[in-house]
Amino acid sequence: MDLEKSVNDLLIKEARFEEWEKQTDSKIKKVEDLVEDINKLTQSISEVVNEVKIMRENVNDLNERVRTIELQPAKQYNNIVEKVIIGGLSAVFGYFINFKG
């Protein structure tokens, strides 16, 4: 009778162990799936970071181009003012040279 009870106890323990093993396998599968999802997310974040770097470089290039375009009217204005001043000074010097002569 003790042998029979021991065998029954072992069978019960074996059944519980098998159930625990199934639950553990299920949990391991869920963890593996989560790790796979995390790896995919990490790769996606890496791609986004690379794209942001490229966009930042493009924005910096556009900023430089816009600055150049914005400065063109100022350069043209400065050239016009310089030419007007040179023309005015030339006229004044020409007048004085002709006046003295």
For the segment 48-75, what is each residue's pLDDT rounded down to a tens digit?
999 999 999 999 999 999 998 888 888 8
Confidence of residue 22 (pLDDT cuts 50, 70, 90): very high
Q: Note the pLDDT of residue 64.
A: 94
CA dihedral 22, 24, 27, 31 (to 10 degrees): -130
CA dihedral 33, 39, 41, 47 (to 10 degrees): -150
Q: What is the pTM of this model?
A: 0.53
Average pLDDT over residues 25-30: 95
Of residues 71 and 28, which shows the higher confidence score?
28
